[in-house]
Structure 1
Amino acid sequence: MDTRRNDPYPDVTAAGGLVSALGKAAKLVMGEIWPVPSPTDDIIGIETARGILSVVLATEERLFRVRVHIPGILWETPGFTWEIGSTDEFGLLVEAVVAWRQGVPFDGLAARFTFLELEGFARALDEGEPTSLQWAGLLSAEFHRKQWNLLRRLRTDEVLRNMFPTITHGAVRLCADPLVRTSRQVMVYEPEEDRYEVIRPGVSGADWVEVPTGDLIAHLRAAMNQE
């Protein structure tokens, strides 16, 4: 039996799989992709400045499903995923992936690639939805109960509550932009009640410093304003 007759993706198969097919096609339109590890060849994740763009092959029909994922810092939290459209045209898919990675504005993407449904995703970003959901998720997770008091204290501040929070090795990490893992960050650890240590990850020579309770919020605000 010739299984190729039942393959809805003969072009992808002939190119050596989804990763290979997308990579080769992207070069033809003067673009690049940087795939992240995937457990199967039926899905590919592509690093971009606006989250991880993933393409998933439907099994019941020829359909390339497109999703965008905002991961937790250092991949330690599940993050947030949106379905943003699907198409059966491989060439159109490749052009959309390249344009997304090149930073084409959302309105330009929506006008050029009508299969993309970006209104909900763009609105969620504008309204700070990933950040507010992340705060709520951490404050309802029993696993992070030890950090609840610190999280509540940080969230009361009108500036810090707009930072994207995660928990890293028991410390609360605040990030200025959930889409950019290398954006301004600060970590605060509470080794014991009302005693705090703070560090700025990624800053050369940075080390943990103890910060008095009364100075904590001001210290964190200042750290997040530094380039």
Structure 2
Amino acid sequence: MDALDSGLYPDLFAAGGLISTMELVSEEKNLDLGQLYSHYASGPGLLTTAELDSSRGRASVQLGSQSRTFYVAIQGQGFTWAEGATDDLDDLIEALAAWRDGISVDDFAGRFPFMMPGRLARTHESGDSVSAQWKWLRTAEEFSEERPLVEAAYADGRFGYFFPTLSHGTLRLRSMRRQREAQEVSITPLSGGSYRVENPRLLDPTVVDSLREALNVASEALTSNE
């Protein structure tokens, strides 16, 4: 089964894979995991990965190859709710079921110590994730090179309720309002002092000569169909 050591996962080999084993255990425990699936349609990984959705993100489970380990990560949109690892499948099933049932982040971490909440998990739970993210990008040493771009966008005043992220020098702003398709735009500094502004709804990016122009274009793109 995908080159796994049968001695590490005899239960999975007997049941035919990770998903079928998780389904059996959850049924025995009378716990609801919802629909389990794998993002692999075929080939390697099909029998060694499992995913499930919840109202607070998607949980992904993968198997360790050197030891009996179930790695799990619960991802929100652009952040991690929690992640961890355990060698106990029962603990894993109980943790995933509790998460789907709506357990609080603190209670989740206390009940399942092998799961570590993400940096923004509690602020997302409290509804204060946007301000917490802005504060992090404006103060963390790792973002010192991008600080002028972040500070300019923050001081502008038009992006206060947009969730900011940084990746390879690009500032991305995404609406946190519960829309079918959240508004999103990115601003990338280019050589020579120009900036590229991109929006998923636009076919071509816009290149402007100054940061002020970039912020104006970004604001227009984000609010065009609010």
TM-score bracket, normalised by the shorter chain, equals 0.5 to 0.7
Q: Structure 1 pair 55/148, CA: closer, same or farther in 2 (3 Å)?
A: same
- Give the CA deviation at 1:120: 5.3
TM-score by length of structure 2 reads: 0.55
Higher relative contact order (CA 8 A, sep 6+): 1
Gaps of 5+ in 2: none
Aligned ranges 1:62-211 → 2 under 5 Å: 66-70=72-76, 80=80, 82-83=82-83, 88=88, 90=90, 93-94=92-93, 97=96, 100=99, 104-107=101-104, 114-115=111-112, 122-125=121-124, 126=126, 127-128=128-129, 129=132, 132-133=135-136, 136=140, 139-140=143-144, 145=145, 147-158=146-157, 160=159, 163-167=163-167, 171-177=170-176, 183-201=182-200, 203=201, 205-211=202-208
Hey, what's the Cα distance between the residues in 2 that align with 1:86 and 1:210?
48
Hey, what's the Cα distance between the residues in 2 that align with 1:87 and 1:58?
9
Q: Which amino acid aligns with 2:59?
A: L
C-alpha contact (below 8 Å) 1:139/1:148 kept by paired residues: yes
Q: Deviations over 1:59-112 (max 9, x none)?
A: 99977564424575xxxxxx657347869454x744754675xx654449959x
- Give the CA deviation at 1:116: 7.7
Q: Structure 1 pair 174/108, CA: closer, same or farther in 2 (3 Å)?
A: closer
Q: Structure 1 pair 85/31, CA: closer, same or farther in 2 (3 Å)?
A: same
Q: Which amino acid aligns with 2:15?
A: A
Q: Deviations over 1:15-35 (max 9, x none)?
A: 233244346777995821343
C-alpha contact (below 8 Å) 1:99/1:109 kept by paired residues: no
C-alpha contact (below 8 Å) 2:61/2:70 kept by paired residues: yes
Hey, what's the Cα distance between the residues in 1 that align with 2:217 and 2:104?
38
Q: Deviations over 1:110-144 (max 9, x none)?
A: 59x9548999554242343556445636514xxxx
Gaps of 5+ in 1: 73-78
TM-score by length of structure 1 reads: 0.55
Partner of 2:21: 21
Greater share of residues in helix: 1
C-alpha contact (below 8 Å) 1:184/1:224 kept by paired residues: yes
Hey, what's the Cα distance between the residues in 1 that align with 2:207 and 2:166?
20
- Give the CA deviation at 1:199: 2.3
- Give the CA deviation at 1:148: 4.9
C-alpha contact (below 8 Å) 1:86/1:116 kept by paired residues: no
C-alpha contact (below 8 Å) 1:34/1:47 kept by paired residues: no
Q: How many residues align?
A: 202
Hey, what's the Cα distance between the residues in 2 that align with 1:208 and 1:151?
20
- Give the CA deviation at 1:186: 0.1
- Give the CA deviation at 1:14: 1.5
C-alpha contact (below 8 Å) 1:36/1:46 kept by paired residues: no
Partner of 2:59: 53
Q: Deviations over 1:136-155 (max 9, x none)?
A: 36514xxxx4x554334224
Hey, what's the Cα distance between the residues in 2 that align with 1:58 and 1:219?
46
- Give the CA deviation at 1:13: 2.8
Aligned-residue sequence identity (percent) comes to 22
